[in-house]
């Protein structure tokens, strides 16, 4: 059981207030950057790994299912990128 592996080639920083979607541990998630420049999140508690694009997709899906309002003392940092929302049904009818 080699659970403690440390790649150590990239700086990994803990993200405060982030809950692991798998094991629900808070403040166990680290973020680092891939060789391809992709941001990776990894839970050091259970080893769950997720890329940022997967994360965004899942966030969007979760928001559709239920609008969770859980402010964590302004420590949430994953709302930096706002995705353009297309509002259907409000388009002006020009022709």
| Chain positions contacting Zn ion, by CB under 5 A | 20, 22-23, 43, 45-46, 48
Dist. CA 12–CA 31, nearest whole Å = 5
Dist. CA 9–CA 11, nearest whole Å = 7
Nearer to Zn ion, 47 or 56 (CB): 47
Q: How far is the CB of 44 from Zn ion (least distance, A)?
A: 8
Q: How far is the CB of 84 from Zn ion (least distance, A)?
A: 31
Distances (CA, A) of 62 to 11, 12, 43, 69, 94: 29, 26, 19, 12, 34
Q: How far is the CB of 59 from Zn ion (least distance, A)?
A: 17
Nearer to Zn ion, 46 or 76 (CB): 46
């Amino acid at each position: 059981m080699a659970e403690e592996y440390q790649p150590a080639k990239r700086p990994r920083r803990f993200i405060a207030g982030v809950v692991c979607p798998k094991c629900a541990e808070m403040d166990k998630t680290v973020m680092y950057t891939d060789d391809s420049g992709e941001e990776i999140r990894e839970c050091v508690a259970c080893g769950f790994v997720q890329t940022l694009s997967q994360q965004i997709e899942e966030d969007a899906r979760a928001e559709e299912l239920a609008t969770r309002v859980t402010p964590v003392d302004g420590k949430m940092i994953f709302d930096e990128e706002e995705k353009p929302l297309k509002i259907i049904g409000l388009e002006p009818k020009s022709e």
